[in-house]
Amino acid sequence: MGKFVNKYYKDEWTKYTSTGELYAVGTFSVAEDGTKTVLDGAYNFVGRVLPDGSFVSANIDPTVPPDEYAETFLRAAKECKE
């Protein structure tokens, strides 16, 4: 599992999870096809980064784009070369 710091995380957002972890430190796993499944610092699923670099929202309706919070994690995970 890859780990990254979300450099797009906003200062006004909650800094720490209830267990003291930093929300801004995300993780991802990579599927065989190169798709990254992305989690935030509290291990909440925020979406996927497809091999072509596009994002798939964690919303129930996949046609709904990710919200601003999720998009920051997806952008940071996309840039992570780990």
Nearest in space to 2 (alpha carbons), one of 73, 67, 55, 72? 73
DSSP 45-56: EEEEE-TTS-EE
User: How far is Cα 15 from Cα 46, in angstroms, rounded to an integer?
Assistant: 17
Residues 11-57 pLDDT 10s? 999 898 888 889 999 999 999 999 999 999 999 999 999 999 999 98
1-23 pLDDT tens trace: 899 999 999 999 989 888 888 99
Contact 46/75 with Cβ under 8 angstroms?
Answer: no
C-alpha separations of 77 from 5, 16, 21, 37, 53 in Å:
9, 19, 18, 9, 10
The domain spans of the chain are 2-79
CA 75 to chain CA centroid, nearest Å: 7
Q: What is the pTM of this model?
A: 0.89
